[in-house]
Amino acid sequence: MTLPLSRPAFDAEPKGAKALGTLPDWDLSDLYAAPDAPEFSRDLAWLETECAAFAASYEGKLADLDAAAMLDCVRRYERIDVVAGRIMSFAGLRYYQNTTDPSRAKFMGDAQQKVTDYTTPLVFFGLEFNRLDEAHLGNLLAANADLARYRPVFDRMRALRPYQLSDELEKFLHDQSSVGASAWNKLFDETLAGLTFEVAGEDEALNLEATLNLLTDSDRAKREAGARALAGVFEGNLKLFSRVHNTLAKEKEIEDRWRKMPTAQTARHLSNHVEPEVVEALRDAVVAAYPKLSHRYYRLKAKWLGLEKLEIWDRNAPLPTEAPKTVAWDEAKDTVLTAYSAFDPRMAEIARPFFDKGWIDAAVKPGKAPGAFAHPTVTEVHPYVMLNYLGKPRDVMTLAHELGHGVHQVLAAGQGELLSSTPLTLAETASVFGEMLTFRKLLEGARTQAEKKTLLAGKVEDMINTVVRQIAFYDFECKLHAARREGELTPDDINALWMSIQAESLGDAFNFMDGYETFWAYVPHFVHSPFYVYAYAFGDGLVNALYAVYAEGDAGFQEKYFEMLKAGGSKHHKELLAPFGLDASDPKFWDKGLSMIAGFIDELEAMED
């Protein structure tokens, strides 16, 4: 049965919430005091006026500007970016706190429409800038060091030159963006947030986050009940999810075709400032490693659980020797801050305000978006972290991950709005490194062999989820977009594409229940950010290599690490990794990171002897 898009029928507090302690909520007043704050209206009015004034000052005139005038132009553009970003950060964060609240949805929709309308006059800037003669631009940059600082931004803009359309078409695409992909994104988000799941054995209906959480329960019957409830509700909503994916994939294909993008992945590679061959080397290395990673680990896990075959609900099951544990919020906070501080006290100092100043929204609440993220907002404010904290040991690692993003975003803010934004491939570096620091700290404190085994197994599963699962997701997206170019996809078509990569990535240790073929439906990255997912594997592999350098006692590692994070998007990955003696364009680079995962599995196998 298709569930209505209504407020979820479950209590605000999940079971066991009191054991977690007081969970923090966001204080968004550093952005704006309230939706009706005069500052919000003032900024919207300024944005409308300044965008029009910017176009009047510069449209058709960029080629005539000297270096000083071009710098003024870029700085005005950057200021507009800050104000628009502040407006949309406030509207978006309020919305994600409760996506089923019509007033919040309207507020965000109205803000998005106004920002889109007001910034339409700016479309000329990138197009006209890309038409500047190369020698002329080189002379401008040589004449003014402050302008030359923006070279990485200009390089990324000019990488799009072969794919830009006419000014009129670019303005049209900008104008209709609020009713294109972003509208389908909202429909997807609101649908997910509104789903409820009747789980056998539960007294009340659960939301998506709480139902997914059952898949890590120590009780196998609960895990199965959760998986079957997920499958049933996904099946009931599959026509809608299929329509969302069909529409977005077709819209992307049309735009890619008009832009003459050679592949569906090209736009993502350009935005990540990463070469396609580097991504393919990563993808190929991970796929080749499936047998020694996921296939081998899951056969080992089946043995631990005393099963001939794992079912899909056993994939993230705790070990039989693992005592069920609820980690209170204060303990999670202390664990992560202690691990950060042991690496470098400055890292904990940067992370602490997230806990003390309302920069984290942690509780599971009705209508709240599922998952977790760190949003940088704008460089003159600070990031905000969203969690759905349920006290699982994995939730502690999620906290460490998102705080890593937050630390990175705080450090990169010094670059200014245009240069602080880090490509997704590098944006996952600090988050995964934060997880690794927390894991290593916990492993050092393990008192028994059983505790060490539990920690190692948990880390291996997290790494498989980050590397193997995300590359499998990437392959699924590649197949989905290629198939959509041939015509409309039925729900069964998409299900078949999903299953075509599952056995390959997970291995022969699994049975796949009826209904698992629908589990592509809830993955938000497919909808919000096509081909985003390989960034997780990129980040994990990069961090494993980085951590090996750190563990070897590299002199001045901390200073080099902080400098890398402070760089934000101002340097290419090759330049950022050079001080550590690393090069992601070397195909053998990825084998180093994958060998770390294999080494952990070796340790687990040795414990069986």
Per DSSP, what are the bridge partners of residue 376? none
> What is the average pLDDT value for the chain, to the nearest integer?
92
pLDDT at 352 over 90: yes
pLDDT at residue 16, as a whole number: 55
DSSP per-residue letters across 505-520: HH-TTB---TTGGGGG
Q: How far apart are CA 265 and CA 285, in angstroms?
A: 18
Mean pLDDT in residue range 139-152: 97
CA 173 to chain centre: 25
Let me know: does 173 contact 252? Beta carbons within 8 Å: no
* pLDDT: which is higher, 590 or 69: 69
Q: How far apart are CA 567 and CA 421, in angstroms?
A: 10
pLDDT at residue 1, as a whole number: 24
Per DSSP, what are the bridge partners of residue 431? none
Global confidence as pTM: 0.83
Mean pLDDT in residue range 56-81: 97
Token pair in block for residue 334: 């202390």
pLDDT at 493 over 60: yes
pLDDT at residue 17, as a whole number: 62
Amino acid at 149: R
pLDDT at 18 over 90: no
Residues 317-336 pLDDT 10s? 998 877 778 899 999 999 99
**Nearest in space to 446 (alpha carbons), one of 321, 568, 576:** 321
Q: Tell me the percentage of the chain whose pLDDT exceeds 90.
A: 78
pLDDT at 87 over 60: yes
Amino acid at 556: G
Mean pLDDT in residue range 287-316: 96
Let me know: does 410 contact 374? Beta carbons within 8 Å: no
Token pair in block for residue 124: 């000329």
Residue linked to tokens 């539990």: 454
Q: How far apart are CA 532 and CA 583, in angstroms?
A: 21
pLDDT at residue 5, as a whole number: 22
Q: How far apart are CA 152 and CA 158, in angstroms?
A: 10
Residues 50-61 pLDDT 10s? 999 999 999 999
Residues 99-124 pLDDT 10s? 999 999 999 999 999 999 999 999 99
Q: What angle do CA 595, 323, 206 make, to 5 degrees?
A: 95
Q: How far apart are CA 48 and CA 424, in angstroms?
A: 30
Mean pLDDT in residue range 238-259: 96
pLDDT at residue 608, as a whole number: 76
Most confident of 177-181, 356-360, 463-467: 356-360
Question: 224: pLDDT confidence band, cut at 50, 70 and 90?
Answer: very high
pLDDT at 285 over 60: yes
Write the DSSP symbol of residue 368.
P
Token pair in block for residue 485: 């170019």
CA 369 to chain centre: 14
Token pair in block for residue 150: 């923006």
Residue linked to tokens 């002897």: 609
Q: What are the chain's domains? A: 28-179 (1.20.140.70)
Q: Beta strands 384-386 and 373-375: pairing type?
A: antiparallel
Token pair in block for residue 9: 């029928």
Per DSSP, what are the bridge partners of residue 310? 510
Question: 15: pLDDT confidence band, cut at 50, 70 and 90?
Answer: low
pLDDT at residue 9, as a whole number: 28
- Those residues with Cβ within 8 angstroms of residue 368's Cβ, 6 or more apart along the chain or in another chain: 96, 97, 98, 99, 193, 209, 361, 388
Q: What is the dihedral of CA 576, 580, 584, 587, to 10 degrees?
A: 160
Mean pLDDT in residue range 508-527: 96
